[in-house]
């Protein structure tokens, strides 16, 4: 077992103890977990189990290993890639518009809006797509990046419209788009890469259907 797999057991064991140097350790040995398959001293903390099992999502391979093939295939059949991606794009566009409005009104670009776009895109894909395949996360990350860039573009158009005394929609359709990349480049800050990176990560992580240990138990009991 690797460290991550060992920690899944340690996190819900009554004998766990936090060591500031080593991290989570066993209170009996004062050391990190070193068992291969099962710990002989493991004692489940039911209070923690209920909380962890209902919040931590499982990876696709873990879901496949814990469910019988029939239930697993049922979960896969419930995936809706087109619907998930459609609403993911919709969330990205709405987020980009809100980002642009806030930026133009405050005359200050708030990087945290990028993170909000990433989370919004991921959650939209999760809810409507119900996906467990890798492509949901990859597309979610790409759509989040699109939303961030589109938000920047709309912000630039908003500033141009205010400067020229024009309407936003009028400016959107009449602006010379060849100048937009240059303007974005001039306003770009290195910190933007950090926010974009977090947005992409959030979108990827949230794009997958959340199936927890408790969810596995519920699905199995329904069978």
Domain boundaries, the chain: 1-53, 81-206
Tokens 């806030």, residue located: 102
Beta-carbon count within 10 A of 50 CB: 13
**Torsion region of 23: left, alpha or beta (phi above 0 gives left; psi -120 to 50 gives alpha):** left
d(CA 125, CA 140): 7
pLDDT score for 112:
82
Task: Give 157-189 pLDDT, tens digit per residue.
Answer: 888 888 888 888 888 888 777 877 777 777 777
In angstroms, the CA 49 to CA 126 distance is 24
Q: What are phi and psi of 178, to 5 degrees?
A: -65, -20
pLDDT at 79: 94
pLDDT at res. 220: 61
d(CA 118, CA 217): 30
Q: What per-residue confidence (pLDDT) applies to 56?
A: 63
What pLDDT does residue 182 have? 79
How many CA atoms lie less than 13 Å away from 155 in the CB half-sphere?
Answer: 28
Question: In the prediction, which pLDDT does 85 show?
Answer: 97
- pLDDT for the residue numbered 214: 65
Quote the pLDDT of residue 90: 97
Q: What is the model's pLDDT at position 109?
A: 75
pLDDT in the model for residue 111:
76
Could you write out the DSSP letters of every residue in the chain? --HHHHHHHHTTBTTEEEETTTEEEETTTSS----SS--TT--B-HHHHHHHHTTSBPPHHHHHHHS-HHHHHHHHHT--HHHHHHHHHHHHHHHHHHHHHHHHHHTS--THHHHHHHHHHHHHHHHHH---SHHHHHHHHHHHHHHHHHHHHHHHHHHHHHHHT--HHHHHHHS-GGGHHHHHHHH--HHHHHHHHHHHHHHHHHTS---BHHHHHHHHHH-
Q: What is the mean pLDDT of each run of 10 residues along the chain (223 residues)?
A: 74 82 84 85 73 60 74 88 97 94 85 90 96 94 94 87 86 80 76 89 91 66 53
Q: What is the pLDDT of residue 199?
A: 93
Residue 83's pLDDT is 97
The per-residue pLDDT for 208 is: 92
């Amino acid at each position: 077992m690797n460290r991550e797999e060992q920690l899944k057991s340690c996190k819900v064991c009554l004998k766990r103890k936090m060591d500031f140097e080593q991290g989570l350790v066993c209170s009996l040995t004062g050391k990190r977990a070193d068992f291969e398959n099962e710990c002989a001293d493991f004692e489940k903390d039911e209070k923690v189990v209920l909380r962890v099992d209902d919040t931590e999502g499982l990876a696709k391979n873990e879901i496949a290993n814990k469910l019988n093939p029939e239930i697993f295939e049922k979960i896969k059949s419930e995936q809706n890639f087109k619907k998930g991606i459609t609403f993911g794009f919709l969330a990205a566009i709405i987020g980009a518009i809100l980002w642009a409005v806030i930026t133009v009104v405050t005359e200050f670009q708030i990087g945290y809006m990028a993170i909000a776009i990433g989370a919004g895109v991921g959650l939209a894909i999760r809810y409507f797509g119900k996906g467990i395949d890798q492509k949901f996360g990859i597309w979610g990350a790409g759509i989040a990046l699109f939303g961030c860039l589109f938000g920047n573009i709309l912000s630039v158009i908003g500033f141009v419209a205010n400067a020229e005394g024009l309407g936003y929609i009028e400016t959107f359709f009449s602006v010379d788009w060849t100048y937009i990349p240059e303007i974005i480049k001039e306003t770009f800050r290195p910190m933007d890469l950090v926010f974009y990176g977090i947005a992409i990560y959030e979108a990827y992580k949230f794009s997958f259907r959340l199936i927890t240990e408790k969810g596995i138990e519920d699905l199995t009991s329904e069978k």
